Amino acid sequence: MNDAVGLLATLVGFRTLSRQPNLDLIGFVESYLRGFGVASRRVPHADGTRANLYATIGPRGRGGICLSGHADVVPVAGQPWSTDPFVLTGRNGRLYGRGTSDMKGFLACVLAAVPAFVAEPLALPVHIAISYDEEIGCVGVRDLLDELAVDAARPIGCIVGEPTQMRLASAHKGKRAYRCCVRGLAGHSAQPQLGVNAIEYAAELVTALRGSARAMQADGTRDARFDPPWTTVQTGTIEGGVAVNVVPDRCTFDFEIRELAGADGERIVEAFTGFANGTLLPEMRRVSADAAIELEALSAYPGLRDDATSLALKSLCADLLGDDREEVTLSFGTEGGLFQATGIPAVVCGPGAISRAHRADEYVTADELGECLRFLERLAGYCRQPR
């Protein structure tokens, strides 16, 4: 346990915000693994400032189990932390710091379990995957998965250690994120009819999205395993305008769709673009031929499906957890859906809780780390069994 806490303190100390360099953390993990005779390889971002890391312990040329987690964390700006978010602080069985729950606690446990993985020869390899920029759309892991997709010895299963309080999760929603830019025509507010008010047209689009959200709640696809059990739509940011007496010529807003399996997301986007291009844009262009409504896809990742391909992995993880706790489903997304889409069955199970993530005084409990370590030690025992 002390090793895991010490490793967590080191990992928390690296300020690995999304889009920012993470090579100091990657270098630390490389050096740590090298100390146990474990080689690793980087799969870098095109700009060279950050990278995924992939390592294999045990025999080459066999599938094995992948332990996957992301190293990036969300910003702390504007949050009322009672401790330094980048200095691990222990108090009453809780370990506070940015990323402790999401998800450096899991990475610390994986690294702390390396001595158990190398103590005796493994019959089935264990792979360690650390990604970057997960928090902004599962960006980094895609390059790693492109390599694994053509690897004959790719993992036969992946455990994504996102925070579930060490409960086994076999399904989660998918996500689409978009940016809409409305371009109008500026003018004096005393004669608004001579301009095209980008904020007002954007407001109509946001209202349309709110209508889609209500329709999904009332009549959309249902899956009672999720909370909420329907596809959700929400606008997260909006900006525009320069002064109250100026007709605004530009307004930009971001929205997201967290969808159940099926075509809900596609239908919502089709309705949005149909309303924008078929109703609003002709009206705007009667005043200004240069008016525009532009939609940009920011990110997307698939949901994780609970299907027959994951049965063996689910059974293994349930045995390793060692009790009859109920499976859960997740309304937040993970890289698990991308692993599954690559042909690698995936489940989600890790220390911490999503309710503590992305907020001030994020924490993981010492008990959760201990439970994760026991889980990984049992995995080491399973992988030693002759096959």
Give the distance, in angstroms, between the CA of residue 74 and the centroid of all CA atoms in the same chain: 11
Do the beta carbons of residue 291 and residue 285 sit within 8 Å?
yes
Q: How far apart are CA 352 and CA 163, in angstroms?
A: 5
Indicate the residue type of 301: Y
Give the distance, in angstroms, between the CA of residue 105 and the centroid of all CA atoms in the same chain: 15
SS3 263: coil
Nearest to 346 by CA among 20, 67, 3: 67
SS3 171: strand
Paired sense of beta strands 187-188 and 246-247, if any: antiparallel
Please state whether 57 falls in left (phi above 0), alpha (psi between -120 and 50) or beta: beta
Is 134 among the catalytic positions? yes
Is 120 among the catalytic positions? no
The one catalytic residue among 30, 102, 133, 134: 134
For helices 23-34 and 105-112, the axis angle rounded to 10 degrees is 20
Residues annotated as catalytic are 72, 134
